[in-house]
């Protein structure tokens, strides 16, 4: 357990072995370290040097021989704090260049593109990217929706609808299965209109002016994001046909 934790905070396997060996042995020579830590003679000085730079190992010289010892384990906490500080600085640097990276990303996107996202995290990325890309003045059309999927996905879509409502984006939702106990009551959400038409499709489809999202919650959970104005128009026409025969 000790080795795993030390490796997770950034020490290599060799550094971890040597540090723990020094904690157990106390002040000792490289010969004992090599024997106890099972480190090759060619690597031991390199590892000790790295540990010394991290402030985890010190040494003294007795009769021209170096004796190494572990620094107090509290130094590990200091290392974590230093790592956190470096991450904060990196985050600040990334934020400075992020607008430029985003502009490049948007400029290079093709007029027609298809991206497959998989798993819960993938669907989360896809649906919020969809919401980010569309014009707030557009209306979203969604069909084949069910609340019978796993609760984690219902929670995800609840957050999505919350963001949609904040942006003032209208949405017409065509459910094929909806629980009467589903919370929050989506029928009472602002900018939302609901109809039900049972047995449409096991896949949910979300449509905007230029984009189509196709989600499936079968064994392999996935989401296909398509950017294509003509495909979006075709799905929109299909939606409008179904909307006319659906029940409020």
Residue 196 pLDDT greater than 90, yes or no: no
Residues 6+ away with beta carbon under 8 Å from 86: none
- pLDDT for position 157: 86
Rounded Cα–Cα distance for residues 202 and 15 (Å): 53
| Domains identified in the chain and CATH numbers | 2-74 (1.10.10.10), 108-245 (3.30.870.10)
Among 53-67, 99-113, 114-128, which stretch is predicted with the lowest mean pLDDT?
A: 99-113
Rounded Cα–Cα distance for residues 214 and 206 (Å): 7
As beta bridge partners, residue 143 has 174, 205
Span 139-149, average pLDDT? 83
| Whether this model's pTM surpasses 0.85 | no
Rounded Cα–Cα distance for residues 231 and 212 (Å): 8
What is the band of 112 on the pLDDT scale with cuts at 50, 70, 90?
low
Q: Are 140 and 171 in contact (CB under 8 A)?
A: yes
- What percentage of the chain has pLDDT greater than the value 90? 38
């Amino acid at each position: 357990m000790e080795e795993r934790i030390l490796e997770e905070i950034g020490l290599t396997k060799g550094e971890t072995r040597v540090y723990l060996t020094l904690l157990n042995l106390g002040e000792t020579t490289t010969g004992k370290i090599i024997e106890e830590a099972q480190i090759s003679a060619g690597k031991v000085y390199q590892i000790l040097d790295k540990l010394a730079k991290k402030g985890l190992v010190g040494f003294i010289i007795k009769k021209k021989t170096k004796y190494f010892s572990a620094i107090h384990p509290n130094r590990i906490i200091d290392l974590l704090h230093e790592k956190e500080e470096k991450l904060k600085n990196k985050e600040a640097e990334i934020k400075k260049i992020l607008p430029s990276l985003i502009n490049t990303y948007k400029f290079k996107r093709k007029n027609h593109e298809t991206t497959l996202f998989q798993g819960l995290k993938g669907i989360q990325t896809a649906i919020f990217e969809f919401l980010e890309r569309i014009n707030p003045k557009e209306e979203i059309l969604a069909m084949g929706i069910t609340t019978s999927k796993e609760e984690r996905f219902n929670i995800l879509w609840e957050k999505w609808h919350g963001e949609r409502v904040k942006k003032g984006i209208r949405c017409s939702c065509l459910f094929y299965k909806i629980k009467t106990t589903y919370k929050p009551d989506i029928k009472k959400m602002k900018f939302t209109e609901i109809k039900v038409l049972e047995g449409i499709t096991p896949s949910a489809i979300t449509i905007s002016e230029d984009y189509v999202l196709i989600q499936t919650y079968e064994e392999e959970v996935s989401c296909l994001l398509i950017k294509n104005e003509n495909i979006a128009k075709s799905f929109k026409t299909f939606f409008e046909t179904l909307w006319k025969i659906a029940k409020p």
